[in-house]
Amino acid sequence: MIVAISRFSCEATEADEIERRFRARSRLVDGHLGFRGLEVLRSIGARPEFVLVTRWESRAALGAYLKSEDFRAVHAEGEEQDAIFTLYEQVAT
């Protein structure tokens, strides 16, 4: 299993709107081959930070999604423009 994590900060005044958008997300990723789930986390503190955790069956499945039209459409609004992206392989549970 591959876990992709994106992390980004925002202004406190923007956090509620960003959270609302994630709750109302289009769910385009959900139907992609190899997609296993998404978690959206919001930090508790003065400077809001969001962490997106997606789980994928394989690197190939993630790669196919990253090249898809759905990926481009979902990321068109640019909330994650300055996100730090890290890829992990699950080695134990």
Tell me the per-residue pLDDT of 6-44, one tens digit each, with 9 for 90 and over: 999 999 999 999 899 888 877 878 888 999 999 999 999
Strand partners, 39: 53
pTM assigned to the model? 0.84
Cα 84 from Cα 63, distance rounded (Å): 17
The answer to whether domain 2-89 has CATH 3.40.50.150 is no
pLDDT digits (tens, 9 = 90+) for 35-81: 999 999 999 987 899 999 999 999 999 999 999 888 888 777 665 66
Whether residue 40 contacts residue 20, with contact meaning beta carbons closer than 8 Å, is answered with no
N-to-C CA span, the chain = 11
* Domain residue spans of the chain: 2-89
